[in-house]
Amino acid sequence: MNNESKLTSPSEQYRPDIDGLRAFAVLAVVLYHAFPKEVRGGFVGVDVFFVISGFLISSILLREMTESRFSFGNFYARRVRRIFPALCVCLGAVLAYGFVCLLPFELMQLGKHVFFGAAFLSNLAVWSETGYFGIAATLKPLLHLWSLGIEEQFYIVWPALLWIAFRKKARLDRLLVVLILVSFSINVALSFANISDDFFLPFSRFWELLAGAELARRGHIGLAPKVQTCLSIGGLSALVGSVALFAPELRFPGWLALLPVAGAMALIAAGPTAIVNRTILSHPVAVFVGLISYPLYLWHWPLISYAYIIRLGKPPTPLMAATLVAISFLMAWATFRFIECPIRLGAHRWRRTQIVAACIVMLGLSGLTVWMNNGFPERFPQLPGLDIRKISEARLDSSFQPTQAMDVLSYNQTIVAHLGKGDRKVAFGGDSLLFQYGPRVQQLIDTGQLAANTYFVTGGSCAPVPGVIQQDDFAHCANLPGILIDQVRREKIQSVVLGASWAGYGGANMRIERGGERLSLDGEDGKDAFYANLEDYVQQLQSLNAEVYLVLGAPVHHTRFNPTEMIKRNITSFKIASDVGEGVPIAELRAAYGFADYKLRRVSAVTGAILLDPLPDVCGAGSDCSAFFEDAKPKYSDGVHLRPAFVREHLHFLDFLLK
Residue type, 336: F
For residue 135, give the H/E element and its range.
none
Q: 356 and 444: one domain?
A: no
Examine the fold and report which residue of 347, 378, 409 is the final residue of a domain before the chain moves on.
378
Lowest mean pLDDT among 71-75, 147-151, 248-252, 645-649: 248-252
pLDDT over 80 (residue 456): yes
End-to-end CA distance of the chain: 59
Under the banding of pLDDT at 50, 70 and 90, the label for residue 416 is very high
CB contact set of 79 (below 8 Å; sequence gap of 6+): 152, 155
Q: What is the 3-state secondary structure (H, E, C) of 373-391?
A: CCCCHHHCCCECCECHHHH
| Domain assignment present for 627 | no
Cβ-proximal residues to 556 (8 Å cutoff; 6+ apart), any chain: 501, 589, 592, 639, 640
Report the SS3 class of residue 641.
coil
Percent of the chain with pLDDT over 70: 96
pLDDT tens for 371-389 read: 999 898 877 766 666 777 7
pLDDT of residue 657: 97
What local confidence, expressed as pLDDT, does residue 134 receive? 44
pLDDT greater than 80 at residue 588: yes
Looking at residue 623, its pLDDT comes to 93
What pairing do the DSSP bridges indicate for beta strands 567-569 and 407-411? Answer: unpaired
| Structural domain contains residue 580 | no
Domain that holds residue 183: 16-378
For the residues 575-590, what does the mean pLDDT come to?
Answer: 86
More confident residue, 106 or 258: 258
| CA 377 to chain centroid | 25
Taking residues 32-57, what's their average pLDDT?
96
Q: Is pLDDT at 649 greater than 80 in this prediction?
A: yes
Angle between helices 225-245 and 258-270 (to 10 degrees): 150
- Are residues 159 and 298 both part of a single domain? yes
Residue 361 carries which DSSP code?
H
Going by their DSSP bridges, the two strands 584-585 and 567-569 should be labelled as unpaired
* Type and span of the H or E element at 434: helix 432-435
Is the predicted pLDDT of residue 576 greater than 80, yes or no?
no
CA distances from 170 to 63, 173, 214 (A): 16, 9, 15
Query: Is residue 436 domain-shared with residue 511, that is, in the same domain?
Result: yes
Mean pLDDT over 279-298 rounds to 97
What pLDDT does residue 12 have? 52
Sorting pLDDT into bands at 50, 70 and 90, what band is 1? low
- 74 plus 212 within the same structural domain: yes
The mean pLDDT value for 37-41 works out to 94
- pLDDT for residue 15 is more than 80: yes
pLDDT of res. 7: 38
Q: State the Cα–Cα distance between residues 513 and 468, nearest whole angstrom.
A: 7
Nearest to 634 by CA among 542, 567, 570, 569: 567
Residue 411 shares a structural domain with residue 374: no
For residue 572, being part of any structural domain is answered with: no
149, 258: one domain: yes
In this predicted structure, the answer to whether residue 577 has a pLDDT above a threshold of 80 is no
Q: Of 2-11, 76-85, 407-416, 488-497, which gets the smallest average pLDDT?
A: 2-11
Q: Is residue 11 part of a domain?
A: no
Q: What is the pLDDT of residues 109-157, one digit of tens each?
A: 999 999 999 999 999 999 988 654 445 788 899 999 999 999 999 999 9
Query: What DSSP designation does 654 have?
Result: T
pLDDT at 11 (0 to 100): 37
Q: How confident is the model at residue 84 (pLDDT cuts 50, 70, 90)?
A: very high
Beta sheet of 547-551, edge-to-edge order = 407-411, 414-419, 453-458, 425-430, 495-499, 547-551, 610-612
Confidence of residue 263 (pLDDT cuts 50, 70, 90): very high
- Please check whether residues 367 and 406 belong to one and the same domain: no
Exposure class string for 317-329: b at 16+ Cβ within 10 A, else e:
eeeebeebbeebb
Instruction: Let me know whether 419 and 546 are in one domain.
Output: yes
User: Could you write out the DSSP letters of every residue in 489-541?
Assistant: HHHT-SEEEEE--GGG---TT-EEEETTEEEETTSHHHHHHHHHHHHHHHHHH
Around 250, how many Cα atoms within 13 Å sit in the side-chain half-sphere?
16
Nearest-angstrom CA–CA distance, 567 and 545: 50
Report d(CA 627, CA 633) in Å as an integer. 8
Output the average pLDDT for the chain: 92
Q: Indicate whether 148 and 276 sit together in one domain.
A: yes
Beta carbons of 462 and 473 less than 8 angstroms apart: no
Asked whether residue 1 is assigned to any structural domain, the reply reads: no
Q: Are residues 229 and 352 in the same domain?
A: yes
**Residues 344 and 461 both lie in one domain:** no
DSSP track, 565-610 = GGEEE-SS-EEE-TTTTSPEEHHHHHHHTHHHHHHHHHHHHHH-PE
Tell me what pLDDT residue 8 has. 38
Q: Please check whether residues 535 and 649 belong to one and the same domain.
A: yes
Strand partners, 453: 425
Contact assessment for residue 2 and residue 53, using Cβ atoms and an 8 Å cutoff = yes
Whether the bond into 253 is cis, omega within 30 of 0: yes
In a domain, 570, yes or no: no
Structural domain contains residue 573: no
Q: How far apart are CA 498 and CA 517, in angstroms?
A: 25
Task: Compute the average pLDDT of residues 387-414.
Answer: 83
Least-confidence region, from 20-29, 196-205, 297-306, 397-406: 397-406
pLDDT (0 to 100) of residue 313: 80
Q: Is residue 638 part of a domain?
A: no
User: How many CA atoms, within 13 angstroms, populate the side-chain half-sphere of residue 428?
Assistant: 29
CB 149 within 8 A of CB 120: yes
Task: Find out whether 465 and 496 touch, Cβ atoms under 8 Å.
Answer: no
pLDDT exceeds 90 at position 9: no
Q: In this structure, are residues 591 and 557 in contact, taking their beta carbons and an 8 Å threshold? A: no
Q: Tell me the CATH number at 509.
A: 3.40.50
Number of domains in the chain: 2
Count of other CB atoms within 10 angstroms of residue 179 = 20
CA distance 57 to 45: 18
Lowest mean pLDDT among 174-183, 405-414, 520-529: 405-414
Report the C-alpha gap between 516 and 362 in whole angstroms. Answer: 63
